[in-house]
Chain A
Amino acid sequence: MSGTQTWRQWLTDPSPSSRRQARLGQWWLAWLRIKRNNLAMAGLVIVGILLFAAAFAPWIAPHDPLVQDLSRRLLPPGTPGNWLGTDDFGRDILSRIIYGSRITLYIIGLVAVTAPVLGLLIGTVAGYFGGWVDAVLMRLTDIFLAFPRLILALALVAVLGPGIENAVLAIALTAWPPYARVARAETLTVRKSDYIAAIRLQGAGPVRIIAGHIVPMCLPSVIIRVTLDMAGVILIAAGLGFLGLGVQPPLPEWGLMISTGRKYLFEQWWVATMPGLAIFIVSLGFNLLGDGLRDVLDPRSAAR
């Protein structure tokens, strides 16, 4: 970067002088397109707030999420000190929601690093080798895809036993097939290209070709899918928690909080509805962001 150039000029330079400059320039243009999309920005803000709340929970939360105070149980929202009210043990609902964001983030983080990896592995291997490998793996994918997700997750948790890790495992095992589909489709488009042939002639084996040269090509579409999928993962995790099969009490998981508030629904409505509002807002955030990302990064919809 020469001295007279501004960052913006460097990023938008039509003839970039390095790969890094070209790539950063592309990112910059994508960012500009996302910034124009109000709904996507709203989603980004919501996801940002979730990350912030999870990271700084001990500093933001007014109370300890686990400390009970039976003299202050079932207080309505708007009570000074407990702005969203308290639950049946006198615990502050706002603090529990803030701490609950950590659990939500933990679950979606774990699913986001396991399911796509499994899907990528199966999809790229199927696409690269073709033939019977492809047939077997894709049939397997279809079978898993044929299972209704929540019900398969229920059956898996029933076997593995309730708990946060098992819930994550069950969700990940039901979430990978779409990634495998996407990865296979991308692999098929690059499999026959010249650059792959060139690497093969240099003596690279299948592992190296797939890991080093095919997986990177699949990543953009997989990342979009991950963002869009996160909303669904949040909902399934909350559903498992609600049924008592996910995170166990007294941890402040949002779905679990709704299920404890169910007993007081008609008299103390806030106990059940407030955590649900949190689930709704966060999953809306991921949906808005994913939608926006797809509009920006997918050239087919960008053309419109």
Chain B
Amino acid sequence: MSDISTPQGGNRLARLLVQILLGLGTLAITILGLLLITFIIGRVVPIDPVLSIVGERATPAQMQAVRDELGLDLPMWEQFYIYVRDALQGDLGRSIRTGMPVAQDIARFFPATLELATLGTIFGTLIGIPAGVLAAARPGSIADQLVRLVGLMGYSMPVFWLGLVGLLIFYGKLDWVAGPGRLDPAYDMMLEFQLTQYTGMVLLDSLLNGAWDIFRNALSHIILPAGLLGYISMAYISRMTRSFMMNELGQEYITTARVKGMPEWRVIWVHAMRNVMVPLITVIALSYAYLLEGSVLTETIFAWPGLGSYITDALFAADMPAVLGGTVVVGVAFVTLNMASDILYRLVDPRARA
């Protein structure tokens, strides 16, 4: 591929384009696979979908009508084709519990999860990167051991337990933060009826409306769960930062910079950091994706009205369309984030373009 004799610039651009197209192809296949798996899970489920919609007293005619509507008499491959076609058009079926289209439900619940995971990732990045750099600058030092231990502890903690302990200490004993939920009930009403909901994220919406008291209340509710998720993500980011930075500091250009008499902070934060940032993008994207997942358990602890609560509530109501729809959405978000970080990586790092 390298000896096509087009001008260098055009060639590189073309190659980048090919890579992006290949990436999108992979993305499409992966999403198709995702849908296939959820389709299979949905078909082997022992709950009869017809019965759970019409109830036990339905007449055979009513049951047949629902069967026809759901297309359950069609051949399997045709059912799968319809499932994929509908999913691509944003139709994930109808929730048995709420009676609403699953996609509509998820659109209502997803912003809360997004808000939580985003703030968590911001916390994790802001603390994780300096911690990792500090550890790498003095390997074997007390600071390094400490960062390593704190990181390993983050890897080892059940997030729901950490949430309970956090609630116990910071809400129950110290009363520094607000308890479970997104807002105090009074503010919840205000949000519902007095504010324009631009994004569905309370923090952003209250800011955009200039409603400071709601913003402050929302902040006191989100700070604990986001802080805990941030700790989990910090554990991962600091560890990866440390290993990338160690690797980079062993390079010859770093030795050259040091020999020239460049101050150490400049060597680390300007010269080495430029190269460390590239793989770190992937790490941060990955940890963001993990937080979307990790929020499932956190949300149940904090009664956070997000996608995680939606999925678990649906699970207990045996509401399979909602469970599978939620699974698909998280899966697609996961895959897309991965893909995006991969493309970003290629754009930022000239070596990856070759």
Chain A residues proximal to chain B, CB less than 8 Å: 39, 139-140, 142-144, 146-152, 154-156, 158-159, 161, 231, 235, 238-239, 242-245, 255, 258, 262, 265-266, 269, 272-273, 276, 279-280, 283-284, 286-288, 291, 304
Assuming the A-B contacts A139-B33, A155-B38, A276-B158, are A147 and B334 also in contact, with contact meaning beta carbons closer than 8 angstroms in the complex? Answer: yes
CA distance A302 to B37 in the complex (A): 41
Are B158 and A273 in touch, CB under 8 angstroms? no
CA distance A266 to B160 in the complex (A): 15
**Lowest 10 A-B CB distances belong to which pairs?**
A276-B161, A143-B33, A148-B293, A284-B156, A283-B156, A266-B172, A146-B335, A159-B45, A155-B327, A279-B158
Hey, which chain A residues are within 8 Å of B159, CB to CB? 235, 239
How distant is B340 from chain A, measured CB to nearest CB, in Å? Answer: 13
* Seed contacts A151-B326, A287-B155; 10 additional CB < 8 Å A-B pairs: A146-B34, A148-B292, A155-B41, A155-B323, A235-B156, A243-B315, A255-B160, A269-B172, A280-B153, A291-B152
CB of B167 within 8 Å of the partner chain: yes
- Which one, A144, A156, A280, A304, contacts B157 given CB within 8 A? A280
Hey, which chain B residues are within 8 Å of A238, CB to CB? 158, 161
Are B152 and A284 in touch, CB under 8 angstroms? yes
Chain B residues proximal to chain A, CB less than 8 Å: 26, 29-30, 33-34, 37-38, 41, 44-46, 148-149, 152-153, 155-161, 164-165, 167-168, 172, 246, 289-290, 292-294, 296-297, 300, 311-312, 315-316, 318, 320, 323-324, 326-327, 330-331, 334-335, 338
Q: For residue B318, which residue of chain A has the nearest CB?
A: A158
Hey, which chain A residues are within 8 Å of B161, CB to CB? 238, 258, 272-273, 276, 279-280
CA distance A255 to B158 in the complex (A): 9
Are A158 and B320 in touch, CB under 8 angstroms? yes
Hey, which chain A residues are within 8 Å of B26, CB to CB? 142
Could you list 22 A-B pairs, sorted by A, with CB under 8 Å? A143-B37, A146-B34, A146-B338, A147-B327, A147-B334, A149-B293, A150-B296, A150-B297, A152-B327, A155-B38, A158-B318, A239-B159, A242-B297, A255-B158, A265-B172, A280-B158, A283-B155, A283-B157, A284-B152, A287-B152, A288-B152, A304-B246
Are B164 and A273 in touch, CB under 8 angstroms? yes
CA distance A146 to B35 in the complex (A): 12
- Which one, B46, B246, B294, B338, contacts A159 given CB within 8 A? B46
CA distance A255 to B41 in the complex (A): 25
Output the residue of A151, A243, A283 with the most chain B CB within 10 A: A151
Are A155 and B158 in touch, CB under 8 angstroms? no
Assuming the A-B contacts A139-B29, A143-B30, A291-B152, are A273 and B165 also in contact, with contact meaning beta carbons closer than 8 angstroms in the complex? Answer: yes
Q: For residue B179, which residue of chain A has the nearest CB?
A: A266
- Which one, A159, A231, A242, A243, contacts B156 given CB within 8 A? A231
Q: For residue B32, which residue of chain A has the nearest CB?
A: A143
Are B156 and A258 in touch, CB under 8 angstroms? no
Output the residue of B156, B290, B294 with the most chain A CB within 10 A: B156
Assuming the A-B contacts A159-B41, A159-B46, are A151 and B156 also in contact, with contact meaning beta carbons closer than 8 angstroms in the complex? Answer: no
CA distance A159 to B338 in the complex (A): 28
Hey, which chain B residues are within 8 Å of A231, CB to CB? 155-156
Hey, which chain B residues are within 8 Å of A161, CB to CB? 46
CA distance A304 to B44 in the complex (A): 51
CA distance A139 to B311 in the complex (A): 27
Q: For residue B40, which residue of chain A has the nearest CB?
A: A159
CA distance A273 to B164 in the complex (A): 8
CA distance A175 to B168 in the complex (A): 33
Hey, which chain B residues are within 8 Å of A154, CB to CB? 296, 311-312, 315, 323, 327
Are B152 and A148 in touch, CB under 8 angstroms? no
How distant is B330 from chain A, measured CB to nearest CB, in Å? Answer: 5
Are A158 and B331 in touch, CB under 8 angstroms? no
Assuming the A-B contacts A255-B158, A280-B156, A280-B158, are A147 and B164 also in contact, with contact meaning beta carbons closer than 8 angstroms in the complex? Answer: no
- Which one, B30, B149, B290, B292, contacts A146 given CB within 8 A? B30
Hey, which chain B residues are within 8 Å of A39, CB to CB? 148-149, 152
Are A151 and B331 in touch, CB under 8 angstroms? yes
How distant is B195 from chain A, measured CB to nearest CB, in Å? Answer: 31
CA distance A152 to B41 in the complex (A): 10
Are A158 and B158 in touch, CB under 8 angstroms? no
Hey, which chain A residues are within 8 Å of B335, CB to CB? 146
CA distance A253 to B289 in the complex (A): 29
Are A158 and B338 in touch, CB under 8 angstroms? no
Are A158 and B315 in touch, CB under 8 angstroms? yes
Output the residue of B155, B316, B326 with the most chain A CB within 10 A: B155
How distant is A46 from chain B, measured CB to nearest CB, in Å? Answer: 10
CA distance A148 to B335 in the complex (A): 9
